[in-house]
Amino acid sequence: MFDFLRSRGTAHVRPMTNTSLFSESVPSASSPTFTEPWRTISWGDKDRDLNYVQDYKPSKGSVKHLRVLLYGPVGAGKSSFINSVSSILRGRMAIPAAVSAATSEISFTNKYETHTIEREDGDPDGFYPLVLSDIMGLEDGTNKGVCTEDIKLTMMGHVMDKYLFNSTSPLLSGCAGYEKDPSANDICHILVCVISANSAETKPSVLQKMKTVREAARDLGIPQVCILTHIDEACGITESNLKDVYHSKYIKRKMEEMSSSVGFPMNCIFPVKNYNEETKLNDDIDTLILDALRYIINFGDDFIKKL
Ligand SMILES: Nc1nc2c(ncn2[C@@H]2O[C@H](COP(=O)(O)OP(=O)(O)OP(=O)(O)O)[C@@H](O)[C@H]2O)c(=O)[nH]1
Ligand SMILES: [Mg+2]
C-alpha cells in the first residue's frame, strides 16, 4: 500500500499520496494517513492569527521587543524561516536574511544577525516588537560550524549584532563583538530549534551540540520550541496539500523521531513549510507559520514577564 519514492534532491524516502486511499472513510492500518487530523488547526482563518501576531506587544514595558533566537543544523531553514515570517507580516515577499540555493555541509550564514520587521501599516512605531536572530548552523564534527559556547553567549545577550562566528574559538570576554553589559532587549526570550524533516538522520555530534544548547537554555530558564521545516519535500501528502499535514503519518513519525532524539515534547514541535520557490504569499503556508509563531510569542512573553 505504501509507495516509497526518493524525495526531490535528497536521498530520503517519503510516502506518496494515494488519493483514492486518502478518500476512504476508514483507512486501513497501513494507510499513510489518519482519517481525522491528530492536531487541529484553523485553516482559512489566517487574518485572526495574523492580527494576533501583528498586535503583539511585550507584556513588560521595559522590554522593547521579543527576541527569538534560531539555531539548528546547517541548511535546516533558519534564515528561510526569518524570511517567511518577515514576508507574512509585511504582506509581501521579503528576503532580509541571505539564503543559499544550494545545500551544503558548511553554513551559509556565518554571522550573528538580528532582523527587525518593518510595519507596513503606517504605525508610528515603525517596526514590530518582534526580532528574529539568525546564527551560523551546527555542523558535524569539532571546530566546525557555530560553537555551542557562542550560542550560549548569544542567548545571554553577550554577542553583538554582525559578529562573525569563528568555528575554532568561541567569543571571549573583552574581545571585539563581546557585549559586556547586555540589557533585557539583548537576551534571547525564546529559543527555536530548526530541523529539516527531509534530512538524513542527524549526526551524533550535531545531536550532542543540540543537547548542550538545550541544557544551557534550560539552565537559563529560556523556553524552547522546535520547528520542523521542509515538510513539503519530505512527504508527498503534504507536498500535494499542506492542509493534510496533521493527516500524514509520516510527518507525525518525523515529529516523534525529533521528540525522542532531540528531546522536545510533541506539543513544542511545529511542522512548517518555508517560502522557498514561491513569489506570492500562500494562505496555507502562512497558516502553519502563524500557528507556530503564536506559540513562540506566548512562550517568549511568559519569559519576558518573569524578567
Ligand atoms: N522546499 C523547502 N525548501 C526549504 C524550506 N526551508 C528552507 N528551504 C531551502 O533550504 C535551503 C537552506 O535554507 P536556509 O534558510 O539557508 O537554511 P539555514 O538553516 O539558514 O542554513 P545555514 O545558514 O547554512 O545554516 C535553501 O535553499 C532554502 O530555500 C522548506 O520548508 N521547504
Ligand atoms: Mg542561514
How far is residue 55's CA from residue 14's CA, in Å, rounded to a whole number?
Answer: 38
How far is residue 272's CA from residue 289's CA, in Å, rounded to a whole number?
Answer: 6
How far is residue 167's CA from residue 150's CA, in Å, rounded to a whole number?
Answer: 9
The verdict on the CB of residue 233 being under 6 Å from ligand 1 is: yes
Q: What is the pLDDT of residue 2?
A: 34
Asked if 140 and 206 count as a contact pair (C-beta separation under 8 A), the reply is yes
Helical (H) or strand (E) element with 191:
strand 190-196
Neighbours of 47 (CB within 10 A): 12
How far is residue 255's CA from residue 239's CA, in Å, rounded to a whole number?
Answer: 17
- Residue 148 C-alpha to ligand 2 middle, in angstroms? 16
Counting atoms of ligand 1 from 1, which one is nearest the CA of 277?
29
Q: What is the pLDDT of residue 84?
A: 98
The verdict on the CB of residue 80 being under 6 Å from ligand 1 is: yes
In this structure, what C-alpha cell is assigned to residue 133? 536572530
Average pLDDT over residues 5-23: 40
Average pLDDT over residues 30-43: 95
| pLDDT category of residue 29 using cuts at 50, 70 and 90 | low
Average pLDDT over residues 230-249: 97
The verdict on the CB of residue 229 being under 6 Å from ligand 1 is: yes
Asked if 65 and 187 count as a contact pair (C-beta separation under 8 A), the reply is no
Neighbours of 162 (CB within 10 A): 10
pLDDT digits (tens, 9 = 90+) for 50-61: 999 999 999 999
| Torsion sign (Cα): 135, 141, 251, 7 | positive
pLDDT digits (tens, 9 = 90+) for 112-132: 999 999 998 877 779 999 999
Name the phi and psi angles at 8, rounded to 5. -55, 125
Q: Of 53, 112, 51, 43, whose CA–CA distance to 78 is shortest?
A: 112
Helices 148-155 & 204-220 angle (0-180, nearest 10): 20
User: For residue 280, what is the DSSP state?
Assistant: S
Q: What is the pLDDT of residue 27?
A: 53
Per CATH, the architecture of 62-305 is what?
Answer: 3-Layer(aba) Sandwich (3.40)
Helices within the chain (DSSP H only): 19-22, 46-54, 78-90, 148-155, 204-220, 231-234, 236-240, 249-262, 283-305
Angle at 78 between CA 148 and CA 182, to 5 degrees: 50
CB contact burial 76-93 (16+ within 10 A = b; e otherwise): bbbbbbbbbbbbbbbeee
pLDDT digits (tens, 9 = 90+) for 250-287: 999 999 999 999 999 999 999 999 999 999 999 999 99
Average pLDDT over residues 68-75: 98
**Ligand closest in space to the Cα of 106:** 1
29 or 63, greater pLDDT: 63
Which one of 7, 74, 100, 140 would you pick to mutate in the ligand 1 pocket, going by the greatest count of ligand atoms within 8 A of its CB?
100
How far is residue 92's CA from residue 87's CA, in Å, rounded to a whole number?
Answer: 5
Q: What is the pLDDT of residue 13?
A: 44
The verdict on the CB of residue 137 being under 6 Å from ligand 1 is: yes
Domain boundaries in the chain?
Answer: 62-305
| pLDDT category of residue 82 using cuts at 50, 70 and 90 | very high
Q: What is the pLDDT of residue 36?
A: 97
Average pLDDT over residues 156-167: 98
Angle at 204 between CA 144 and CA 84, to 5 degrees: 65
The verdict on the CB of residue 230 being under 6 Å from ligand 1 is: yes
Number of H helices, E strands in the chain: 9, 8
| pLDDT category of residue 9 using cuts at 50, 70 and 90 | very low
- Residue 79 C-alpha to ligand 2 middle, in angstroms? 4
299 or 103, greater pLDDT: 299
Q: What is the pLDDT of residue 121?
A: 80
249 or 6, greater pLDDT: 249
Secondary structure (3-state) at 234: helix
> Locate cell 541548511: which residue?
75
Average pLDDT over residues 218-247: 98
Q: What is the pLDDT of residue 124?
A: 77
Helical (H) or strand (E) element with 227:
strand 224-229
pLDDT digits (tens, 9 = 90+) for 198-232: 998 899 999 999 999 999 999 999 999 999 999 99
174 or 14, greater pLDDT: 174
Which one of 82, 99, 235, 270 would you pick to mutate in the ligand 1 pocket, going by the greatest count of ligand atoms within 8 A of its CB?
99
29 or 273, greater pLDDT: 273
pLDDT of 102 strictly over 90 = no
